[in-house]
Amino acid sequence: MEQAQVFTCQRCKHTLRIDDTLTDLGSTSIDILLAPLPEEVIRPSDSSTVDRRSETAEINRSSKQSNNIDRNGLSIPTSLSYRLKVANRLFDLMSSRSEIDHPMCQECTDMLLDSLSKQLSDASRERDCYIDFLKKVNVSIISDAEQESLQKEIHEIRSSELAAIKTLKEIESERDTLKKELAALEEEARELDKLEESYWQEFNDFHLQLQAFQNERDSVNLKYDHDAKQLEKLQRTNVYNDTFCICISHDGHFGTINGFRLGRLPDVMV
C-alpha cells in the first residue's frame, strides 16, 4: 500500500494531510497544471517555489508512464507519487499567482481570510472616500465668471498683502528704533538708580551726623540751663543772711526775734 505524503503549512509549519480530491483531477485540469509556467510569474526570492518549478519537466516525463490512457486518449492518474507531484504543481501555481505561499492549514487560512476581508473593507471605505471627494470636486468646479471674480479678489488680496508687508516693515523699523531708545532709557535709569542710591547714602550719613549734633546741642543746652539756674540762685543769695540768721516768729501773743519775745502784757511779765 502506498503511503500518503504529509505537507507542511507555510505559515505555522504544522503538518498537513492533503485531501485526495486535490489530486483527483480531470485530464484537462492536469494538462493545465502540467503546462510550464511563464518565467515572469516565478518569484526568484522564493527558493522553495523555484525548486518546485524544476520538477515540471519531471512531471511531464513521468505523466506518460504513470497514467492510463482511455479510448478517447485522456490521461487518468493512477500513481500516488504522480498525484502528489500534481498537488505540488497545484500549490506552485497558487503560490506564483499571489504573494501567499501554499499550502496552508485551515486555521491559517481562516486568519488570512479575515485579514483579507479587513483589507477589502478598508479599501472599500477608502474607495468611498475617494468617490465622495471626487463628487465634491465636481460640484465645486466654478464657472468662468466666478473664476474671474476670484482672480480679481486674489489680486486685491495680494495688493493688500503687499501693503500690509510694507506697513509691517515700517512698524518693525519703528520697533527697532524704540528698542534702542528703550535701551538708552534703561541705561539712564540704571545711572539714576545709582545716583539715587548714592544720594540716600549721603543723606543717611548726614542725618546721622545731624542727629549727633542735635544730641550734643541738647546736652549743652541742658548744662547751660542748669548753670544759668545755679547762677541766678547764687546771685539771689545774701551772705549776711546765711551768716547772721534773723528768725522772726511769734510765741503765743508775743512776736519773737531769734526766740526773744518783744513787749509784755499786764498779766504776763517779760
Assigned domain for 231 exists: no
Q: What is the mean pLDDT of residues 132-150?
A: 82
Instruction: Note the pLDDT tens digit of each residue in 22-48.
Output: 666 666 666 665 565 555 444 444 444
pLDDT for 75-85, tens place per residue?
A: 444 566 776 77
Same domain, 18 and 83: yes
- Of 59-63, 111-115, 186-190, 218-222, where does mean pLDDT reach its minimum? 59-63
pLDDT confidence of residue 40: 46
- Mean pLDDT of all residues in 224-233: 92
Q: What is the pLDDT of residues 97-110, one digit of tens each?
A: 777 777 888 888 88
Same domain, 55 and 135: no
The CA distance from 63 to 75, in Å, is 8
Are both 25 and 68 inside the same structural domain?
yes
Quick one: cell of 77? 492518474
Most confident of the following: 46-50, 178-182, 234-238: 178-182
Report if residue 70 sits inside a domain.
Answer: yes
Number of independent structural domains in the chain? 3
pLDDT of 171 strictly over 70: yes
- pLDDT attached to residue 195: 95
Select the more confidently predicted residue: 246 or 186.
Answer: 186
Set of cell numbers at residue 150? 476670484
- How far, in Å, CA of 132 to CA of 176, rounded? 52
d(CA 170, CA 182): 18
- Over the stretch 197-209, which tens digit does the pLDDT of each residue have? 999 999 999 999 9
Residue 163 in any domain: the answer is: no
Residue 228 in any domain: the answer is: no
The answer to the question of residue 97 being in a domain is: yes
For 78, the domain range is 6-104
Residues 44 and 123 in one domain: no
* Domain end call among 141, 161, 187: 141
| Residues 74 and 122 occupy one common structural domain | no
Cα 226 from chain centre? 83
The closest of 69, 64, 88, 68 to 78, measured between CA atoms, is 68
Average pLDDT over residues 206-226: 95
Residues 15, 35 within the same domain = yes
Average pLDDT of span 44-68: 46
Assigned domain for 18 exists: yes
Question: What are the residues whose beta carbons fall under 8 Å from the beta carbon of 80, sequence distance 6 or more?
Answer: 2, 3, 4, 5
- With CA atoms as reference, report the closest residue to 109 among 254, 246, 41, 10: 10
For residue 254, give every residue at least 6 positions away whose Cβ sits within 8 Å of its Cβ, in sequence order, or none.
261, 262, 263, 268
Let me know whether 31 and 77 are in one domain.
Answer: yes
**Do 15 and 86 belong to one domain?**
yes
- Say yes or no: 20 and 58 in one domain: yes
